[in-house]
Amino acid sequence: MALTGISLSSPPPFSPPHTDAPEHWAERFLLAGPGGEECLRFGTPLDRDALRALVEGQAERLSAAGLGPGGTVALRLPPSTAFVTVLLASWRLRAQVILLDHRLTAHEIDLAVERLAPQVLVGSAHRPSGSLRGFSEVEPVAVRLSNGRPAGTGHALVQLSSGSTGPAKVIARTASDLIRELGCYQQLVDFPGEGERVVLLSSVVHVLGLVGGLLNSLHARAPLTVPERMTAAGILATVAADDRPTTVIGVPFHAELLSGTAAPPPLPQLRRMIVAGELVRPGLPDLFTARYGVPLGTMYGMTELGVIATDLTAGLHPAKEPVAGMELRMVEGELQIRTAASPYPGLDDPTRWSDGWLHTRDAAVLDRATGRVTVLGRRDSQVSIGGLKVDLTEVEQTLAALPGVREAVVVFDAGAVEAYLAVEEGADPALVQDGLAGRLAAYKRPRRLAFLPLLPRTATGKLLRDPAALRDAATAAVPT
């Protein structure tokens, strides 16, 4: 479907969700297509007629729970047919959708619900499958929340980029913004399109898996498959199970996993793998190509904007070519991108967005001659673990709030999160660990907890944050 002839100008300061986009946009851009055409495969293939029928059924159930135009609904569902159908049904009802990672703890979900106040919360009637499962078979349950509020902005999608609390972590996008991003993917000749197939490894609650994977596959008519097992063998078996040209979409962790397979089977249908979410280590593209004979493409993007720049042929690494329409600039070593409006609803923070420019907080190099960008890494406390965003400040504040903990410093070093705690005399480390497990999702928890009587400080009295110095202090301290 062509995207031409559609006005994607930014909406007024407030209008109900979806009013900035063409009427019935979800049906036109995501659900339309020949009825018998396969579009999704979570274990069992699903064609478009079946998908439309499931979406219709979910819309009726959501309406019965009180969801309607301008309403708000939070989804806490694992990757599944249920996730897709509830998401599309909510948009069909012209509601604002809040995505909550199903791996968050009950404590984190409660905090998010308290802050965002959805009118309806959709969860699973059954506990999701184990961590190595790519998808789950779940029955969605919609619950009406007494303290929920209708949408206060015209955004169709709300995501939590790095934590469950704090306005700085709430990111919203309009329906026209999602359509714009689909248009960006349509212009990338090396991104999967009609007649091809996508094997998705990325989480569908994060921007790459959601828009680059799920929504683009529906729009471009490139059937999407999620492996049953997220192991190297499970992923390779999924690629081998179909003869159509296949692109694998994931994060660098997945590329590392597949590159570790010494003798992978012949996969003539594999076209390429595309990764995003964090920096790719030097040497990985060449190693992946040596294993599979196809390029490891990379992308740079943000939850706030979606895809920003790409190197899908691995010919520019580590540089990337900005997608059409992106205007980039460098200010004091920080990459900034022009945007019509702030993606942070209710937040007036000029360090994040000001005068039409989004402050990415990424260090980068911008080549004036070619326009290509090389991203060097984060300039703030947000890091990426296996493609999942972790805010070190959130982890630090959660630790410091635990009983028996006086102070906490959380650092990221050598690919892992480490925490150093000053605890009260007699504090039980096991209780601290148990308390942390109840408050933070597993992927956010530090790989190492060091307990010290006092945390080292700089000459000016500030807490020391140098990982090497902290490790030395922990080694010298008497274990508690």
Q: Is residue 135 domain-shared with residue 212, that is, in the same domain? A: no
Q: Is residue 227 domain-shared with residue 146, that is, in the same domain? A: no
User: b or e along 145-158 (b: 16 or more beta carbons within 10 Å of the residue's beta carbon)?
Assistant: beebebbebbbbbb
Q: Is residue 142 domain-shared with residue 58, that is, in the same domain? A: yes
**How much is the pLDDT for 13?**
58
Is position 360 within any domain? no
Q: Say how many domains are in the chain.
A: 3
Q: Which residue has the tokens 């904007």?
A: 305
Domain of 44: which CATH number?
3.40.50.12780
**How much is the pLDDT for 459?**
54
d(CA 415, CA 387) in angstroms, rounded, equals 12
SS3 content of the chain, % helix, strand, coil (to 5): 30, 25, 45
Q: Of 306, 326, 346, which one is at a domain's C-terminal end?
A: 326
Q: What are the distances in angstroms from CA 70 to CA 237, 319, 382?
A: 43, 41, 32
Among candidate residues 339, 265, 354, the one with its CA nearest the CA of residue 302: 339
Q: Is residue 62 domain-shared with residue 160, that is, in the same domain? A: yes
Among candidate residues 117, 183, 121, the one with its CA nearest the CA of residue 345: 117
Q: Is residue 156 domain-shared with residue 224, that is, in the same domain? A: no
Is position 376 within any domain? no
Q: Of 310, 326, 342, which one is at a domain's C-terminal end?
A: 326
Q: Which residue has the tokens 């390029």?
A: 295
**How much is the pLDDT for 245?**
98
β-pair type (416-423, 270-275): unpaired
> In whole angstroms, how large is the CA radius of gyration of the chain?
23
Q: Is residue 131 domain-shared with residue 256, that is, in the same domain? A: no
Is position 244 within any domain? yes
Q: Is residue 307 domain-shared with residue 433, that is, in the same domain? A: no
**How much is the pLDDT for 478?**
58
Q: Is residue 161 domain-shared with residue 201, that is, in the same domain? A: no
Is position 469 within any domain? yes
Q: What is the pLDDT along the chain (480 residues), one digit of tens a residue?
A: 344 333 344 445 578 999 999 999 999 999 999 999 999 999 999 999 999 999 999 999 999 999 999 999 999 999 999 999 999 999 999 999 999 999 888 998 999 999 999 999 999 987 766 668 999 999 999 999 999 999 999 999 999 875 433 334 799 999 999 999 999 999 999 999 999 999 999 999 999 999 999 999 999 999 999 999 999 999 999 999 999 999 999 999 899 999 999 899 999 999 999 999 888 888 899 999 999 999 999 999 999 999 999 999 999 999 999 999 999 999 999 999 999 999 999 888 899 999 999 999 999 999 999 999 999 887 878 888 888 888 888 898 899 889 989 889 999 988 899 999 988 888 899 999 999 999 999 999 999 999 998 888 865 567 888 898 899 999 887 554
**How much is the pLDDT for 359?**
96
**How much is the pLDDT for 144?**
98
Q: Is residue 195 domain-shared with residue 152, that is, in the same domain? A: no
Is position 338 within any domain? no
Q: Of 286, 308, 326, which one is at a domain's C-terminal end?
A: 326
Domain of 455: which CATH number?
3.30.300.30
Q: Is residue 164 domain-shared with residue 15, that is, in the same domain? A: yes
Tally: H helices and E strands in the chain? 13, 25
Q: Is residue 111 domain-shared with residue 236, that is, in the same domain? A: no
**How much is the pLDDT for 10?**
47
Name the DSSP letter for residue 229.
B
Is position 342 within any domain? no
Range of the structural domain that residue 405 is part of: 383-476
Q: Is residue 8 domain-shared with residue 146, that is, in the same domain? A: yes
**How much is the pLDDT for 162?**
53
Is position 364 within any domain? no
Intra-chain end-to-end CA distance of the chain, in Å: 63
Is position 26 within any domain? yes
